[in-house]
Structure 1
């Protein structure tokens, strides 16, 4: 291995301490940093392969004059905090010997052509989460001179993994659930919606349910762990409605809904759906968005463009989830299963028997499910489709009778429900900020009043996080996935750590807080005279009311927006399309949407003039 680079020298010293993998190299304002896994937790052993979750991380600067724990500049400290927050806020999985990023069928189809290749060379680019920060090592590892660098490249999956033993009718099995989150258009609930011009959608997840049936290795084999299993796999996907749309936070519980009717919408949706057909085969689009009220414009836009494109191998199916399942009639999800049953039967599932390689069966299509967030309703439906398919697999294996179901076996049913509920919670926390709603149904097969109360608490948590914390979280996504690249000058990024809002805007929360304190003091502190407090309370109530009203009227100014890639073009979009309201923009509302009004949101761009690349209603920042 070459000894001339500081990277090589640093690696040689690192081997003196526990090191479980290199996530990649990230370049910030003052230094490049090697991100390493310094702690791991064994999740399970799948077909003889250990699956780990990264639990501890270290950032090691290549610049000897920079400390990662005590950075010399506030901007560098802020960027390091974003990286650490992203690493510790995600669920990152890896294996040294098995490709977590690809479903079993994809591995089987290309097995013969991938002999001798490293995991990073065959990983699915969509789910290779650290692909961007591994770019330097990949460039080095692909050259004949520095092939040794390739051994340091460890693909990381952002997703979920669960494996549970199952014993049914004398047969030992393992049930596994893996979700894979796409690194494209990644982010948080309200700051990443819809589609981009490249056809990538927000909150895209591939979910694979694997059933492993233990048996004897095939005659003549060495009896490896993989050889003793009959493998069955069923894959589903979810993703945001593939049109240009967004929800604009205004501090109100329900954001302003916005549909951007752009000339690129049809081509972007075509790119997205065509890619899914090329990867998975036929596609059944299951849409759970409400057909009335607030969500209706999203449903209408989706259906309009699906009908316009009329793509082969793509079939659209609408299910009015809230209407059909109202009054906690969750059993009526069976109506949707009836609607897509022909698709499920035709798509089938992947299966492979080591004793009879010629009997392999392949999944020929996929169900793509979405609601508004692709979280709660989507979780319930995907779990129901997975249960239906698991029953079908067990019946065709002869383990269940033709009319049997895993619901007849409480231990198996409980494991299945808990796996899907945990999976739903993890996806919801990553995107929405709290555990999944309606998870009581997934866990117990029943909707309960206790579950409704828990959902109220989760909804409140989501509101607080989505309005006041998700901006920094989105910045972490953009920094680690390469959507925003820092300049090598921290002074050009001071907008990241400064509040450029007008003084009156910044002062209102303090005025409201102090006024509320004075009101409470007047109510609780002992009185020193009999003088009436009427005018005292009138003064502070008036100040509090004025400050609170100002905050609500200018709600957009108090949302914690992303700073690396400001959403100014979306917030103040005034082109063709639909917008439910113009709350939070001041007394002038819709009229007050010019560049002066939004100047503080884009202060970093206006002052420093970084290059920007147009991406439909979005701009990719490349400082």
Structure 2
């Protein structure tokens, strides 16, 4: 018996359902006599930045209930307010094909209950309708050698709040076989692929957001010139791209069911300044291109993607106003948001290390010497497109060694940058080599040197500030310069600091922390919080930032090498040396063990998860491959046309972003009609729905923002209120007492 679905919506403001009326007639059900008038409209017509009216299709779904019958799965998705619903139908009758049908209609709660009741009655003779589970999102679909599976997020927890939009960490997932006939045998290839796939633990450092695009930087999200109500994700950081594309064909079709997931690190803390709350957010996004384990992914592939490519964004915002929208008449005009972006990635040359000899530091081999540095050219061109110019290359590897190892790469990297730079405008690529290991062993003050470099780098790239500077900064400049000063309207970051050592882990993280520390001073000054763009190293606010970057470094190191950081910032400051040395020995042993025994399994799982290897019956299984070189490099039979060795970059990518105030008339909100329903898709008011949850009793103690880590935890247990300085910017230690 065919399953009864819902009727076509009669309301002209709804799209038609993809489920036909004939299915109900065949089930013996009569259509109701009344038309659908209870459901709200899909979305009011709104105005995009070009002045054209467009029908916004997106409905934010963040609650999911999966039901099953003998022949189909039905996913019921609802919004935060639980008053608008969508239906997804998944056919369960085929092992070889995946048939996913999105019903484009939006339903009311009563209508969804009617649909479920009809499904229950219509399938009474074949087992009825059963509720399988509740979920928080769809990770995607995958097939190995037999049937398809759907992977669902079943548990989440908030880790950050940006502009009223939550970012969640995945705490638990559930894979389900779609076809009831798909029951793999115990020792079959299918079961082995399933076990391999599970080695990608989605409960460790995978994140998503229903309403904020975490695949892009804050600067892009607040200044982009495309339709502001559409999501256009940065596919480089969407780790479930292959899984989503399997079921929904494209991430660009603006489907309500698509939920991009990033891999990396997200942390948020607040600076408490006598009642003012400043949120500091750290977001690290790992590229899914050429991703893998430490010794198995080194250098670059022939498409210009490098190993351990991570974009780290430091967002500092004052939370007097929650929303990105400040005035109430224009979008994204809140002047209290700043961000600074850094980058880390392997040296973009063809090099590798053979870890089969079971030595802690395998020798470095140059696999191929390209006189035109084609792969590096592709890499830097991609960097220009992502960040504009200049690209500041901070190379921290050793420059002089008794037995050449790291310096082999350093010499080749210098030739690479010199060759590529000769065709570019001046200072498009700025190369800075500094032997950080040598400086650590000498009497040099590593922290002071890094801080000096960081000041130069931040001055060269700038940082993003979403609005005009506060008037107090103008008054300070006028007092200092003794003449009237123009008010700065908006700042853009043009360019990025690209930091690397050999693994882009220990030394790189220490350098990025100090760059972040300098950027924090400029960001706080731009917000009018401090009167000088710098913060002391041994202050509460820098201690808080150091902990965030320490966790950030441990997380990225564990993802790439299987262990935490070996050398932390404390090691470079020569503090707690005995404790640091013991920790370094343990982490070195752990890293060595993982490289020798676990990395191959990790790499297989990543290749399977990202769709680099698609199991087929006419090809050898994944574990039978000697290496995965061809999975990450182009087939030589189908190579694309080579670029010019001279004009190797995209010229438009070098043009700096506008630093002046945007034409805000393009972002004005059209008059909004009175709404009967709360709507998360509303560009202006939607953020309130997820954060404040109307019609739901919530205490301040339960809000994420209230329980966030803060600088107040660094206050001593016993203080004298009369003498203690509660400012988080006060120097707590003198250099002599470190």
Do Structure 1 and Structure 2 share a fold, with TM-score over 0.5? Answer: yes
1:89, 1:247 → 2: CA distance?
30
Match of 1:198 in 2: 303
Q: Report deviation, 1:14.
A: 8.7
Normalised to the residue count of structure 1, the TM-score between the two structures is 0.73
Matched, 1:234 2:340: yes
2:330, 2:408 → 1: CA distance?
57
Q: 1:495 to 1:170 in 2, by over 3 A?
A: closer
Q: Report deviation, 1:214.
A: 2.7
1:266, 1:425 → 2: CA distance?
32
Q: Report deviation, 1:565.
A: 6.2
Q: 1:76 aligns with which of 190, 194, 207?
A: 190
Matched, 1:252 2:359: yes
Matched, 1:326 2:435: no
1:142, 1:374 → 2: CA distance?
32
Match of 2:556 in 1: 427
Q: 1:291 aligns with which of 399, 418, 431?
A: 399
1:377, 1:458 → 2: CA distance?
15
Q: 1:72 to 1:114 in 2, by over 3 A?
A: farther
Q: 1:336 to 1:616 in 2, by over 3 A?
A: farther
- Structure with higher helix content: 1
Number of residue pairs aligned between Structure 1 and Structure 2 = 495
2:318, 2:275 → 1: CA distance?
11
Match of 1:187 in 2: 292
Match of 1:543 in 2: none
Q: Secondary structure at the match of 1:462?
A: helix
2:433, 2:304 → 1: CA distance?
22
Q: 1:452 aligns with which of 576, 581, 584?
A: 581
Q: Structure 1: where are the runs of 5+ without partners?
A: 497-562, 570-604, 606-610, 618-623
Normalised to the residue count of structure 2, the TM-score between the two structures is 0.62
1:365, 1:92 → 2: CA distance?
27
Q: Report deviation, 1:138.
A: 3.5
1:370, 1:55 → 2: CA distance?
31
Match of 2:462 in 1: 348
Q: 1:176 to 1:340 in 2, by over 3 A?
A: closer
Q: 1:568 to 1:355 in 2, by over 3 A?
A: closer
Q: Report deviation, 1:3.
A: 5.4
String of CA shifts for 1:158-201, please: whole Å, max 9, x gaps. 01111111113653211110000000000010000000111100
Match of 2:518 in 1: 388
Q: 1:385 to 1:447 in 2, by over 3 A?
A: farther
Contact kept? 2:455, 2:518, Cα under 8 Å: no
Q: 1:347 to 1:371 in 2, by over 3 A?
A: same
Q: Report deviation, 1:87.
A: 2.8
Matched, 1:566 2:696: no
Q: 1:354 to 1:17 in 2, by over 3 A?
A: farther
Contact kept? 1:44, 1:51, Cα under 8 Å: yes
2:251, 2:457 → 1: CA distance?
43
Contact kept? 2:557, 2:565, Cα under 8 Å: yes
Q: 1:299 to 1:49 in 2, by over 3 A?
A: same
Contact kept? 1:137, 1:153, Cα under 8 Å: no
Match of 1:415 in 2: 544
Q: Secondary structure at the match of 2:158?
A: strand
Q: Report deviation, 1:302.
A: 1.1
Q: 1:426 to 1:564 in 2, by over 3 A?
A: farther
Q: Report deviation, 1:29.
A: 1.1
Matched, 1:152 2:257: yes
Aligned pairs for 1:215-614 (under 5 A) are 215=320, 220-221=327-328, 230-249=336-355, 250-263=357-370, 266-281=373-388, 282-293=390-401, 294-310=405-421, 311-312=424-425, 313-326=428-441, 331-339=445-453, 341-353=455-467, 359-402=489-532, 405-407=535-537, 409-410=539-540, 412-439=541-568, 441=570, 446=575, 448-488=577-617, 493=620, 496=623, 564=625, 566=627, 613-614=635-636
Match of 1:136 in 2: 246
1:50, 1:567 → 2: CA distance?
37
Q: Secondary structure at the match of 1:479?
A: helix
Aligned pairs for 1:165-180 (under 5 A) are 165-168=270-273, 171-180=276-285
